[in-house]
A and B are shown apart, each in its own frame.
Chain A
Amino acid sequence: MSQEELAMAVGTTRQTITSIEVEKYTASLVLAYKLAHYFGLAIEEVFDFSDVVEE
């Protein structure tokens, strides 16, 4: 599956998927849920927010 296809499936852009993958951008709860739901997994199985520092 391409980033473009995943982006279309969850209602975002390819650039956002790339930024999330390289850990430049932290997905919102809603987007994290959509991505996890798309793969049929729980949010904590897809994302590890333990190192994320809130700005």
Chain B
Amino acid sequence: MDKYKEVVRKRIRGVIIATLFVAAFVICMHFFVAKSADGATGDLFSFLEGGVIGLDFVALFYMLQYRKALDNDEKLKKMYNEEHDERTQFIRQKSGFPVFTAAGAVLIVGGVAAGYINSTVSYTMAACGIFILLYQLGLKFYYMRKY
């Protein structure tokens, strides 16, 4: 369990670094890029910034969960069991993890980045990414009921 504690500590550090990096990126874009090259309105930027801030809150939630688990051995063991549970891994595999997750994430992040260049490309990429993630979620629920 000590090894897993170290893994969780590394994850917390990773989440902090990623959150700070993303926050810095959004702040820079907010102040230095007024609007995209094709003249997208401020609505698009508000949408993108809202999405990124939302992701930051999700990251914060996980960070707090990890912090709590580090202070409580029973919670840590439960978290370890959930992560290494063979049925969970089987369902993940059946629902296209990690390929769908990675593809969805890349499309959404790419969509956010593309938002600063072309709004149509941004919306298309974000929509594709969200569709892939929702499709994966649907598969996951299906297999969770099946197995």
Q: List chain A positions with a Cβ less than 8 A from chain B.
A: 7-8, 11-13, 15-16, 19, 24-25, 27-28, 30-31
Task: Indicate whether A12 sits within 8 Å of B81 (C-beta atoms), given known contacts A19-B87, A25-B87, A28-B86.
Answer: yes
Contact A13 B77 (CB under 8 A): no
Query: Would A19 and B147 be within 8 Å (CB), given that A12-B87, A13-B87, A13-B88 are in contact?
Result: yes
State whether B146 touches A24 (Cβ < 8 A).
yes
Bound-state CA distance A39–B90 (Å) is 25
Binding site for A on B (CB under 8 A): 77-78, 80-82, 84-88, 90, 146-147
A5 to chain B, nearest CB (A): 11
Name B85's contact: one of A12, A24, A30 (CB within 8 Å): A12
A31 neighbours in B (Cβ, 8 Å):
86
The residues of A that contact B88 with a CB separation of less than 8 Å are 13, 16
How many A-B pairs fall under 8 Å by CB?
Answer: 33
- Would you call B77 and A12 a contact (CB within 8 A)? no
- Taking the closest CB of chain B, its distance from the CB of A51, in whole angstroms, is 17
Residues of chain B within 8 A (CB-CB) of A19 are 87, 147
**Which chain B residues border A16 with CB–CB below 8 Å?**
85-88
Q: Name the B residues within 8 Å of A7 (CB-CB).
A: 81
In the complex, the answer to whether B81 meets A11 with C-beta atoms within 8 Å is yes
The answer to whether residues A8 and B81 also contact, given A24-B146, A24-B147, A25-B147 and a CB cut-off of 8 A, is yes
